[in-house]
Chains A and B, each alone.
Chain A
Amino acid sequence: MSIGWYLVISALLFCVGAAGVLVRRNPLVILLCLELMLNAGNLALIAFARMTGTGDGQVFALIVMVVAACEVTIGLGVIVALHRRRVPIDADELRELQG
């Protein structure tokens, strides 16, 4: 398969993730949609690594995976803290972040 097909799939996945961030209101699902977008970026990076024949893009993808893991950890920590404080887990209700 040519590299262009992988880029098309990557673009499609990114758009599905972006639409999900806009449509959904549950912060857990919003985090999942961010994962979708990061993974779409990973696919593009690895496709370009295949295109150029160097391993640089794969190292980038690994670093992106590390960043995604950090984002998941912090995001889930925030959600657990919200749950502890009996705040509704809903992005529409969370209008203020103080306190």
Chain B
Amino acid sequence: MAEVVFFIAGIGAIAGAIGVIAARNPFYSVLGLVVHLISLAALFLLLRAEFVAAAQVVVYAGAVMVLYVFVVSYIGGVEESISTTGPGLRLAGLLFGLALFAELSIAVLGSGLQAIDGEGAPFQPGFGSPAQIGELLLTKFLLAFEVASFLLLIAAVGAVVLARRRRGLEDTGGFEPEDRAEGLSASAVAAQGSTGTMAEGVGTHTYPARGSQ
């Protein structure tokens, strides 16, 4: 039974991965990645990693993929014309992938690990449960846990800084209020800043090139 599930999930994961790189429309690529992630969660379940499988489905296939779908529909799924890349470059990429697979297989087979051929360690109750993962995260891997939380914070702030609306850097279509900085008392001080400062972020920075008003 486990073999059947393994092969179905493995084929699903590989088919999803190939669908990601073969689909022209980025939207279909995202859907292929969802198939891949759910198949991978089944593989995780076979390896008795229940909590990681649940996190994979909920966080990855749920939240992160929704973010992808939002961005793809915001950008407006530009269909990529694959033919303009040139067949030589694509062939080189595929050959690189095959060579990498051969090398990884040699590395795995030649590692001399006896346990690779086995089913793994004898199963203990509680292996892979949320209780065990949580205990490990808060005792043995506390530093990694804290660093990961800081990393998430930095990523959230960075995404807001990257994707915010910059006034004056580009012509955004002219639907922004032009003089919203009039009442701000700090604008006179903040206007001394330049690109990348807080003045630019809140739109009080006046650009010399556009200072015709």
Where the two chains meet, the residues of A that have a C-beta atom closer than 8 Å to any C-beta of B are 1-9, 11-20, 22-26, 28-29, 32-33, 35-36, 39, 42-43, 46-47, 49-53, 55-56, 58-59, 61-63, 65-74, 76-81, 83-86, 89-90
Contacts and interface: CB of A to CB of B under 8 A. Distances in A.
B156 to A, nearest CB: 7
B120 A3 contact: yes
SS class, residues of chain B in contact with chain A: helix
Interface string B119-156: 11111100110001100110011001100100110111
A76 B156 CA distance: 12
B179 to A, nearest CB: 21
Interface string B143-179: 0110010011011101111110110011010000000
Nearest to A9: B10
A15 B152 CA distance: 28
A74 B2 contact: no
Contacts of B154: 70
Contact of A58 (B13, B20, B101, B133): B133
B2 A1 contact: yes
SS class, residues of chain A in contact with chain B: helix
Contacts of B121: 50-53
A39 B96 CA distance: 19
